[in-house]
Amino acid sequence: MKNTANIIFFGAPGAGKGTQAKKVSYELKIPHLDTGNLIREAISGGTELGKKAKEYVEGGNLVPDDLVIGLIREKLLELKGNNFKGFILDGFPRTIPQAEALGNMMKELNLQITKVLNVQAPESILIDRLSARRLCTNKSCGAIYNLFTKKPQREGKCDHCGADLYQRKDDTAEAARQRLKEYHSKTAPIETYYRKQTVLADIDGTKDPQEVYNKILEIIPLN
């Protein structure tokens, strides 16, 4: 049987795991299971789970773990029937109960998580990256910049329309610190959980994105 790459990207907000997950999915053609998309698809498809999810979403509530796991399970069953190459998760699991539920479901489907890629960066870098976004004040322009990855040519001014740029309240250093605090209390314990299962691989997320990507290719199993 050929290798499948059943991968979880794990790391603090700002570590760059989402960017890498998208790149790996695109270049290696391994499906990216985005839980937000799975929920939207199920709702618009009107499936049994979709109908339940709809009630939560319309009530303004979070879709519960068992329902999200159910959606991932359905997707995996669909993928398994058809030249299965593996899957990528990022942003899930976020809590230990979610990680445990995912593990049980994988066992039931006779699948294993092959790698959990732990993308790491020190707090100071995470805060810089999370507070680097700038938006154009001109509503009809709506351009978005990032002081690291997509810098405006003139400081504080929009390249497209010349209007002033501003920083959203959720993008400030203070908001970033709050997000990281939440991450450390709820999500970080998963690192120990997967390290015990010896599927965790540490990745230095401070390097430039191409270097990080090359490192990931060395680690994940390929066909």
Give me the active site residues, please.
Answer: 17, 94, 133, 168, 179
**What are 11's strand-pairing partners?**
119
Which of 128/171 has CB closer to Zn ion? 171
Minimum separation from the CB atom of position 136 to Zn ion (A): 3
CB of 149 to Zn ion, least distance (A): 18
What is the nearest approach in angstroms of Zn ion to the Cβ of residue 10?
35
Nearer to Zn ion, 159 or 202 (CB): 159
Q: Which of 138, 167, 172, 206 binds Zn ion (CB under 5 A)?
A: 138
- The yes or no reply on residue 136 touching Zn ion (CB under 5 A) is yes
Token digits for 92?
A: 């899930």
* Residue count, binding to Zn ion (CB under 5 A): 8
Decide: is 135 part of the binding site for Zn ion (CB under 5 A): no
Indicate which single residue of 111, 125, 143, 175 sits in contact with Zn ion (rule: CB under 5 A): 143
Q: Is the CB of 61 or the CB of 153 nearer to Zn ion?
A: 153
Q: Which is nearer to Zn ion, 114 or 138 (CB)?
A: 138
**Which residues 158-197 are close enough to bind Zn ion by CB under 5 A?**
158, 160-161, 163
- 150 contributes a contact to Zn ion by CB under 5 A: no
The binder of Zn ion chosen from 67, 96, 141, 219 (CB under 5 A): 141
SS (H, E, C) the chain: CCCCEEEEEEECCCCCHHHHHHHHHHHHCCCEECHHHHHHHHHHHCCHHHHHHHHHHHCCCCCCHHHHHHHHHHHHHHHHCCCCCEEEEECCCCCHHHHHHHHHHHHHCCCCCCEEEEEECCHHHHHHHHCCEEEECCCCCCCEEECCCECCCCCCECCCCCCEEECCHHHCHHHHHHHHHHHHHHCCHHHHHHHHCCCEEEEECCCCHHHHHHHHHHHCCCC
- Residues found near Zn ion in the complex (CB under 5 A): 136, 138, 141, 143, 158, 160-161, 163
